[in-house]
Amino acid sequence: MKSSLLALAFLLSISFSLFAQHQKSVITINDTEIDIKSAGLSERVFGQPLIILEQDLASPLSSLDLLFSELAKEGPVLSYDRSDLFNSVGNPSELTLDGHARTLRKLLSEMGQRPPYILVGDGLGAYLAKNFVANNQEDVRGLVLLNPTSPGEEVYYENVGSLSGGEADMELSNYIKSLRLACSMKDLGFLSELEKGLDWEKGISPNLPITIILGKKLNTFSWNPGNSKIQKTDLQEVIDQRIEYFQNLTEKMPNSSLLVTPDYTHGMVNSSPMIINLHVQNLVSFDPLNLIAKSAREMSSLEFKLFIEGLETYIPDYKLSERGFNMMGYSLMRSDLNEMALIIFEHNLKKNPNSANVYDSYGDGLFALGRVEESLDAYQRAVALGTFERHSDLGLFIKNLKKAEEALAETND
């Protein structure tokens, strides 16, 4: 009995500890109160992407709780109620696509959360995520779309009732009316704009990393699951059309991917949070060497050093190899970014303190900056380690050491 109570206490302590990591609060932006839920923000390192969740239209903040908890195990994540949605109270005039982008931007600024961001949108919330990306292209690292709606789907929904018979037609009509009524005090502004048509390519760079996850299993209709007159087969063409559209879209974008799962078209965030999290993390660590090169050109040396030091917090070791760092350092040197290259070499040396090749590269970085005396010590270590290892590039290490010795002798003459 005692052991059972201890076990229960232990489990409860874990539960409370995990719960404490998720913080809820209300932030006011231009007289708009916005409910937020966040995790890992205080532990976020410089340059680490913040995952931002966008729930489906007319869905509460809690609709993404399972996915939120899964993402929070890996890094910083933010979920929030849109203006005038459920517990958030605000200005209905901001309930437009661009108004949403402005409000989210102000929210992030108020919270002190700098770029980069990765947006994850569910259902029609995916289009809001896409629109934010289009308005803030340089600040976004990637985009994940969960069962997004394809252009023209409303035509299928309008016709499906007549295909199913009069009773089904009335049932579908009543559902659409109830949806609009539900949105009237929440997402109606968004819904009105979305009804004008969806353009998933507008404003999006074709090189942006995008993952699209679609379910191919149809739900029974949630408003009347037991007695619905509308047959699933009547809506299968909607799903087929959606899959075809996004398959064609990803073919135009080299860094995008499409995953079609056996999940339901609705509720994927609750049935497959681990799968979604896996694909989000793939975007978090997408092409790190190219990211390093881009950051070296855009950041100050202090920012770049913080960025490099924080990389291993959220990018797997196998993507940050000794060889990869070395190659990136020399690539930066060829672009006359010698100071940034030395930051790379220094970091690589901290990770691999017994590598002759890394010491030699570190020496090259110092030599390029005119720090010849310091480079001499690095080359000496490279030769010593290379001799012990019988390194295949030992001859190059010795040559570089002689180069530094001659340069230092000329300086002293």
Place 240 in a pLDDT band, splitting at 50, 70 and 90.
Answer: confident
What's the pLDDT score for residue 150? 87
**Considering the chain, what is the average pLDDT of its residues?**
82
Check whether residue 237 and residue 268 sit in a common domain: yes
The residue range of the domain holding 312 is 288-412
Give me the helices (H) in 285-355, please. Answer: 288-298, 301-314, 322-334, 338-351
Check whether residue 277 and residue 296 sit in a common domain: no
Check whether residue 257 and residue 298 sit in a common domain: no
238 is a domain residue: yes
Check whether residue 118 and residue 218 sit in a common domain: yes
4 is a domain residue: no
Check whether residue 398 and residue 308 sit in a common domain: yes
Place 157 in a pLDDT band, splitting at 50, 70 and 90.
Answer: very low
Q: How far apart are CA 373 and CA 363, in angstroms?
A: 10
What's the pLDDT score for residue 7? 43
10 is a domain residue: no
pLDDT at 309 over 80: yes
Place 210 in a pLDDT band, splitting at 50, 70 and 90.
Answer: very high
Number of domains composing the chain: 2
Q: What is the pLDDT of residues 10-27, one digit of tens each?
A: 343 343 344 336 788 888
Check whether residue 212 and residue 296 sit in a common domain: no
What's the pLDDT score for residue 198? 83
Final residue belonging to a domain, choices 254, 284, 314 = 284
pTM, two decimals, is 0.83
Q: How far apart are CA 200 and CA 145, in angstroms?
A: 11
Burial class (CB in 10 A: 0-12, 13-18, 19+), 63: buried
Q: What is the pLDDT of residues 322-339, one digit of tens each?
A: 999 999 999 999 999 999
Check whether residue 238 and residue 303 sit in a common domain: no
Calculate the alpha carbon distances from 90 to 64, 85, 129 in Å: 22, 8, 20
Domain harbouring 351, CATH code:
1.25.40.10
